[in-house]
Amino acid sequence: MRGLMQGRQLLVSTYLSHAEAYHSEREIVSRMVEGPQHRTTYGALALRARRVANLLADLGLGFGDVVGTLAWNGFRHMEVWYGTSGSGLVCHTVNPRLFPEQIAFIINDARDRILFIDLTFVPLIEKIIDQLPLVERVVILTDRDHMPATSLKNVACYEDLLAGASETFLWPEFDENTASSLCYTSGTTGNPKGVLYSHRSTTIHCMSANFGDALGMRSTDTVMPVVPMFHVNAWSIPYGAPMVGAKLVFPGAALDGASVYQMLEAEQVTLTAAVPTVWLMLLQHLEKTGARLSSLKRVVIGGSAAPRSMIETFQDKYGVAVCHAWGMTEMSPLGTMGSPRAGLDALPHDQALDLQCKQGRVMFGVQMKITDDQGRTLPRDGTAFGNLKVRGPWILETYLHGAGGKVLDDEGFFDTGDVATLDPYGFMQITDRAKDVIKSGGEWISSIDLENAAVGHPEVAEAAVIGVVHPKWDERPLLIIVAKAGAALDRDAMIDFLRPRVAKWWLPDDVVFVDELPHTATGKLLKTRLREQFKDYRLPGL
């Protein structure tokens, strides 16, 4: 028997329509690439998103066409999101931090017909435009006064186009399984692969992300997504905020500690989200200036493991609750969120911190299992670790154009490429990327655990651990460190520091100090580069 409820479709346009109807005066504040701060409201933004929908139609784009963006977090970028997805087009957020060849590859692979770009990225597109035969027009997200001199042909000024477009537009109703947006994996090997989200997957993901035990956004919140809109849709915040009518603050291109701090304070932000690198810069700024955080209540940390010292500093020194989250492009991206759980919410300080260092609890909507290399499910005991696999309505079924072939197992689970433990309460802990785990004497050593322990040293700014070849044990850990300015740290002091913190056989065989570590376009350690760099490294005593 079928249910007798309305089959209204779950569509991206409805988030903004809701905000327009009931939160129209709520503000959206952006730090502009052009310099000044800009203030608008959901009501005004909704009108301009309709103009975007009309201008896309005026330019000859129709249902299913793909529009690329290379833009920082800001109100214009948000208008383009809603104008495209809302009218049945696909919004492809290009990560400008990828290598130019990769950017050209994904714009072609996605078949972007128009690019909306911030001023920052004009030189980048000028450099690769000859490799983009399908791009018909480049729209620069600025006004007439700031239009740059450019060698690009078929270039247009966003504000001019918008002024000429009507704001009368009825968001169309269509099948919720229609594609809404597109992101590419930031793969460290091979070409990036496209992950094509639907209106349905985006909506369900976002509603779950808005749960109190997840992002927990409320109308009374002021939310600043520092995580870029080109990094898996800024973890859904520009979708979820209009659903609840939260005030939005976009930091633009200035992500250094001082600028992020200025925005947090000036707009009295209550909730924010970003990768650990950003928070490291903020905490260093606070330490240097002695400044306090007067409004911030919660910070979401994800994308890479949140170091214990970072969680502790936010909470104990600044009174800001940390939510450690995990996810990936293929998961829209959220999969686990580290919110307090009944029965485990009154642990002694150190145990509570241990729990928060885990990547969080499985969200409703995501099914999760860990398996051994033969695909056998391992116990959910918090100790056994294996390949982490996931299934759910906001997790990909296949990559764009079928890249990479079949990616689900026989039960429909996607292999995340992470190695993890899972406990009876649903707390998941990443012990490594499958390809980064150090295989020593038939056992696995977690490079992430070692890195986390190393950054606990007050003189360590950043740490990476890779496996290097060992004739007896196959691989042994090598610790690579960027020390803080003025540190007097050496190998033996570092090993002594780690000794009480990790199992004896996990202790790195050697420690090297470098000026900086290589990172991917999304701020993760680029271990392939490190492995290449240290492939001939000879451990002491060999």
Contacts with ligand AMP, residue ranges (CB under 6 A): 185-186, 232, 302-305, 324-326, 328-329, 333, 359, 416-418, 430, 433, 522
Q: Smallest distance from the beta carbon of 325 to ligand AMP, in angstroms? A: 6
Q: How far is the CB of 45 from ligand AMP (least distance, A)?
A: 27
Give min distance, CB of 527 to ligand AMP, in A. Answer: 11
Residue 535: active-site member: no
Specify the residue, 219 or 313, whose C-beta has the smaller distance to ligand AMP.
313
Amino acid code (one letter) for 542: L
| Active-site option among 265, 297, 398, 444 | 444
Active-site hit among 330, 336, 451, 522: 330
Q: Minimum distance from CB of 301 to ligand AMP (Å)?
A: 7
Structure-token pair, residue 103: 């950017």
- Percent helix / strand / coil, the chain, rounded to 5: 30, 25, 45
Question: In the complex, what is the shortest distance from the CB of residue 324 to ligand AMP, in angstroms, rounded to a whole number?
Answer: 6
Q: Closer to ligand AMP at the Cβ: 232 or 445?
A: 232
Complex with ligand AMP: residue 83 or 276, whichever CB lies closer: 276
- 475 an active-site residue? no
DSSP-assigned states of every residue in 208-271? HHTSTTTT---TT-EEEE-S-TTTTGGGGHHHHHHHHT-EEEE-BT--SHHHHHHHHHHTT--E
Rounded Cα gap, residues 315 and 324, in angstroms: 12
* Cβ neighbours of residue 370 closer than 8 Å, sequence gap 6 or more: 377, 378, 380, 384, 385, 386, 387, 388, 389, 420, 421, 422
Question: Is 267 tagged catalytic?
Answer: no
Neighbours of 514 (CB within 10 A): 14
The answer to whether 467 touches 534, Cβ cutoff 8 Å, is no
From the CB of 137, what's the least distance to ligand AMP, in Å?
A: 29
Q: Are strands 90-93 and 112-117 parallel, antiparallel or unpaired?
A: unpaired
| H or E stretch at 77 | helix 75-86
Question: Do residues 289 and 316 make contact, with C-beta atoms less than 8 angstroms apart?
Answer: no
DSSP 410-452: TTS-EEEEEEEEE-TT-BEEEEEETTT-EEETTEEE-HHHHHH
Is 37:29 a contact under the CB 8 Å cutoff? yes
**Interior angle at CA 432, CA 431 and CA 435, nearest 5:** 150
Query: Six-digit token pair at 81?
Result: 């999101």
How many Å apart are CA 91 and CA 112, to the nearest integer? 9
CB of 502 to ligand AMP, least distance (A): 17
C-alpha pair distances (Å), 364 with each of 207, 338, 394: 10, 13, 11
Catalytic residue among 40, 41, 93, 185: 185
Residue 150 or residue 277: which is nearer to ligand AMP going by CB? 277
Task: Please tell me whether the peptide bond between 333 and the residue prior to it is cis, using omega within 30 degrees of 0.
Answer: yes
- Least distance CB 439 / ligand AMP (angstroms): 18
> Cα 128 vs. chain centroid, distance in angstroms?
25
Q: Number of C-alpha atoms within 13 angstroms, CB side, residue 72?
A: 20
**Quick one: which of 69, 132, 67, 133 has its CA closest to 104?**
132
Q: Is 101 one of the annotated active-site residues of the chain? A: no
Q: Give me 423's structure tokens.
A: 């406990």
Q: How far is the CB of 522 from ligand AMP (least distance, A)?
A: 5
Rounded Cα distance between 514 and 479, Å, is: 11
Can you tell me the distance from the alpha carbon of 97 to that of 343, in angstroms, rounded to the nearest whole number? 43
Among the listed residues 439, 505, 532, 535, the single catalytic one is: 439
For residues 270 and 416, which CB has a smaller minimum distance to ligand AMP in the complex? 416
- Number of Cβ atoms within 10 Å of the Cβ of 144: 10
Between 232 and 368, name the residue whose CB sits nearer to ligand AMP: 232
Least distance (Å) between residue 407 CB and ligand AMP: 14
Burial 206-241 (b: 16+ CB within 10 A, else e): bbbbbeebbbbbeeebbbbbbbbbbbbbbbbbbbbb
> Which residues have a catalytic role annotated?
185, 330, 439, 444
